[in-house]
């Protein structure tokens, strides 16, 4: 039951209705029941793995908080980490080392395993209090708006809001419902319109790359990054919007990454919940940038290799992580030199740096989208050879659809530009939109809703491409 399935709107509406109608003390039970039903729709195994990780990490957290010695606390921490992120990374490492060997996995494991691990680490360091209520901890791990593909939550962000909702300190507000639903509508548009059209064309390029011309392979490889962005940003906006309708204000997971002017800034804007998790629980514990340049380079490489392994059990993912680790290291080493030129060029210089970062990020994503490392290098070789072959309109996607998706991307990135300027002024895109006259807002929402509905109807009897990050 994904966000774009026909049954999800009915499930979501019922969950929201019951959540706000029951007494506040029962709201946690409603969220847990909704999370169990949602995960059960992906199969008994997915539900069982979620239940196992939840029970074990909750128990280890209680033991950690009750332990009287540092050694005992460390034992409980290690047990908890092994039960969550440890198993996740071990499973991927085994599958990488022994192709064909598949260990038990489950939908959403890559996300709630990191949530559980961060909770235990934060309890250990005193950053957050242990959660003694199993029900509330289970809501944290199974919160259905984000359990499929994140964003990766933090305990100090989630539990205070859950406590306030269950104590009746937060009530249903029309303004929050409206903001949440508009955010969800934007997420559906990103997924059903932009991501699906781009994915259909990009997949055709990757499937027939040996027959495509070099320009087609180049554009297809670079556009994989855009298809991935709209796919995951669409899911994240759906998750954030759904959470807001239920009274939770979660941190954004994307902040216009293609407007970054350095690769470091790119990762502060792209998949923020994973980037911050890797920074706080891998990079900084390794020493961060505090132990000299060689150690900093080593820490960056390790962090991005872990990121690559988190994404998948293929050498192409590790190579992608290595590429970003190398580019980040080069960026760190050349920062003093680059700083001298950062003020040059004015607006043109800003856009030139944004273009360079986009090309670097999407160039690395070419390998990320390939089913194997060999194909990734093969595609690069075909691009370099300038080989002739199939054109842009020879891959099963009509010229009208390609023109439409290009137009939609122009609109999307124009809105990002407005949002970028709004943020500089201390506002946001939603505030700018709500400030518009009703004669502008209502037609804009109607056009967006109709467009989403039209593309949703195209899925009747078929299906949208699955959310890319759900496979991790």
Name the DSSP letter for residue 212: B
Predicted pLDDT at 471: 64
Classify burial at 168, counting beta carbons within 10 Å of its beta carbon; exposed 0-12, middle 13-18, buried 19 or more.
exposed
Residue 459 has pLDDT above 70, yes or no: no
Domain ends where: 172, 203, 232? Answer: 172
Domain of residue 220, residue span? 176-261+342-457
* Residue 293 clears pLDDT 90, i.e. is over it: no
d(C-alpha 139, C-alpha 110), whole Å: 17
* pLDDT surpasses 90 at 454: no
The pLDDT score that the predictor gives to residue 397 is 80
Given this model, what pLDDT does residue 149 score? Answer: 87
Rounded to whole angstroms, how far apart are CA atoms 380 and 363? Answer: 10
Confidence at residue 290, expressed as pLDDT on a 0 to 100 scale? 86
pLDDT band at 393 (very low <50, low <70, confident <90, very high): confident
Using the 3D structure, point to which of 155, 172, 189 is the last residue of a domain. Answer: 172
Residue 15's pLDDT is what?
Answer: 96
Rounded distance, CA 344 to CA 398, Å? 42
User: Does 346 fall in a domain?
Assistant: yes
Residue pair 282/302 in contact (Cβ under 8 Å)? The answer is yes
What is the tens place of the pLDDT at every residue in 75-123? 999 999 999 999 899 888 888 888 777 777 888 999 999 999 999 999 9
CA distance 108 to 104: 13
Instruction: Calculate mean pLDDT across residues 401-415.
Output: 90
SS3 assignment, position 390 = strand
Residue 316: pLDDT over 80? yes
Which helix H or strand E contains 147, and what residues bound it? none
pLDDT value for 94:
87
pTM for the full model? Answer: 0.92
Instruction: Give me the pLDDT at residue 395, please.
Output: 87
Structure tokens at 277: 């998790």
pLDDT bin (cut points 50, 70, 90) of residue 404 is: confident
Same domain flag for 37 and 141: yes
Q: Do residues 146 and 185 both lie within one domain?
A: no
Considering the domain architecture, whether residues 45 and 157 belong to the same structural domain is answered as yes
User: Residue 292 above 90 pLDDT?
Assistant: no
Count of domains for the chain:
2
Cα 32–Cα 33–Cα 34 angle in degrees, nearest 5 = 90
Domain for residue 68, yes or no?
Answer: yes
| Full DSSP string of 41-104 | TT-HHHHHHHHHHHHHHHHHHHHHHH--SHHHHHHHHHHHHIIIIIHHHHHHHHHHHSTT----
Question: Same structural domain for residues 162 and 88?
Answer: yes
Region 405-417: what's the mean pLDDT?
92
Provide the token pair at 221: 């490889």
170 falls in which pLDDT band (50, 70, 90)?
confident
pLDDT, tens digit (0-9, with 9 covering 90-100), for 208-234: 999 999 999 999 999 999 999 999 999
Query: pLDDT for 141-155, tens place per residue?
Result: 999 999 988 899 999
- CB distance 273 to 152 below 8 Å: yes
Rounded to a whole number of angstroms, the distance between the first and last alpha carbons of the chain is 17
Residue 349 lies in a domain: yes
Domain boundary among 172, 202, 231: 172
230-264: pLDDT as tens digits: 999 999 999 999 999 999 999 999 999 999 999 99
**Are 29 and 148 in the same domain?**
yes
- Are 363 and 238 part of one and the same domain? yes
Question: What confidence score (pLDDT) does residue 347 get?
Answer: 85
Strand partners, 212: 390
Orientation of helix 134-142 relative to helix 27-40, angle to 10°: 40
Same domain, 36 and 53: yes
Within this chain, do residues 446 and 378 fall inside the same structural domain, yes or no? yes
Q: Is residue 26 part of a domain?
A: yes
Instruction: Work out the average pLDDT over 409-423.
Output: 93
Q: Are residues 205 and 158 in the same domain?
A: no
141: left (phi over 0), alpha (psi -120 to 50) or beta: alpha
pLDDT for 29-59, tens place per residue?
Answer: 999 999 999 999 999 999 999 999 999 999 9
Tell me whether residue 280 is in a domain.
Answer: no
**10-24, 38-52, 120-134, 333-347: range with lowest mean pLDDT:** 333-347
d(CA 207, CA 201): 10
- Check pLDDT > 90 for residue 442: yes
Q: Indicate whether 306 belongs to any domain.
A: no
pLDDT level of residue 460 (50, 70, 90 thresholds): low
User: Has residue 463 got a pLDDT over 70?
Assistant: no
User: For residue 253, what are the CA distances in angstroms to 4, 147, 234, 241?
Assistant: 19, 14, 10, 12
Q: Distance between CA 234 and CA 28 in Å, rounded?
A: 27
* Residue 79 shares a structural domain with residue 19: yes
Whether 198 and 234 have beta carbons less than 8 Å apart is answered as no
Q: 374 and 237, same structural domain? A: yes
Banded pLDDT at 432 (limits 50, 70, 90): very high
Q: Are residues 67 and 148 in the same domain?
A: yes
In a domain, 158, yes or no: yes
Confidence of residue 343 (pLDDT cuts 50, 70, 90): low
pLDDT tens, 344-372?
668 888 899 999 999 999 999 999 999 99
> How does the average pLDDT of the chain come out, rounded?
91
């Amino acid at each position: 039951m994904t966000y774009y399935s026909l049954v999800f709107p009915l499930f979501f509406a019922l969950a929201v209705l019951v959540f706000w109608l029951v007494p506040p003390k029962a709201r946690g039970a409603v969220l847990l029941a909704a999370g169990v039903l949602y995960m059960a729709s992906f199969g008994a195994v997915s539900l069982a793995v979620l239940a196992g990780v939840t029970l074990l990490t909750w128990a280890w957290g209680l033991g950690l908080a009750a332990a009287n010695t540092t050694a005992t606390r460390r034992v409980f921490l290690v047990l908890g980490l092994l039960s969550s992120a440890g198993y996740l990374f071990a499973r991927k490492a085994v599958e990488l080392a022994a192709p064909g060997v598949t260990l038990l996995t489950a939908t959403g494991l890559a996300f709630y395993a990191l949530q559980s691990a961060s909770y235990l680490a934060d309890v250990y360091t005193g950053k957050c209090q242990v959660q003694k209520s199993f029900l509330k901890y289970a809501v944290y791990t199974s919160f259905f708006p984000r359990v499929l593909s994140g964003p990766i939550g933090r305990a100090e962000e989630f539990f205070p809001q859950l406590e306030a909702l269950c104590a009746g300190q937060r009530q249903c507000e029309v303004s929050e419902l409206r903001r949440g639903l508009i955010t969800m509508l934007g997420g559906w548009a990103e997924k059903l319109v932009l991501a699906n059209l781009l994915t259909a064309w990009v997949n055709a390029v990757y499937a027939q790359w040996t027959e495509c011309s070099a320009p087609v392979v180049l554009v297809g490889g670079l556009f994989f990054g855009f298809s991935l962005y709209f796919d995951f940003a669409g899911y994240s906006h759906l998750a954030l919007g759904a959470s807001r309708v239920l009274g939770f204000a979660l941190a954004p997971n994307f902040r216009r990454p293609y407007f970054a002017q350095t690769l470091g800034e790119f990762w502060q804007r792209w998949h923020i919940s994973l980037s911050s998790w890797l920074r706080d629980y891998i990079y900084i514990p390794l020493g961060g940038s505090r132990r000299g340049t060689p150690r900093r380079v080593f820490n960056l490489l390790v962090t991005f290799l872990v990121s690559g392994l988190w994404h998948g059990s293929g050498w192409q993912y590790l190579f992608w992580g290595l590429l970003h680790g190398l580019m980040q290291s080069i960026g760190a080493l050349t920062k003093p030199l680059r700083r001298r030129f950062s003020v040059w060029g004015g607006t043109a210089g800003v856009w030139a740096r944004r273009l360079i970062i986009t090309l670097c990020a999407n160039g690395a994503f070419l390998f990320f989208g390939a089913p194997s490392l060999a194909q990734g290098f093969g595609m690069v070789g075909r691009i370099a050879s300038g080989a002739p072959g199939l054109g842009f309109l020879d891959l099963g996607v009509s010229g009208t659809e390609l023109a439409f998706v290009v137009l939609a991307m122009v609109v999307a990135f124009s809105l990002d530009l407005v949002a970028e300027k709004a943020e500089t002024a201390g506002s946001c895109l939603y505030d700018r939109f709500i400030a518009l006259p009703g004669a502008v807002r209502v037609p804009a929402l109607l056009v967006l809703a109709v467009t989403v509905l039209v593309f949703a109807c195209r899925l009747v009897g078929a299906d949208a491409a699955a959310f890319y990050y759900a496979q991790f």
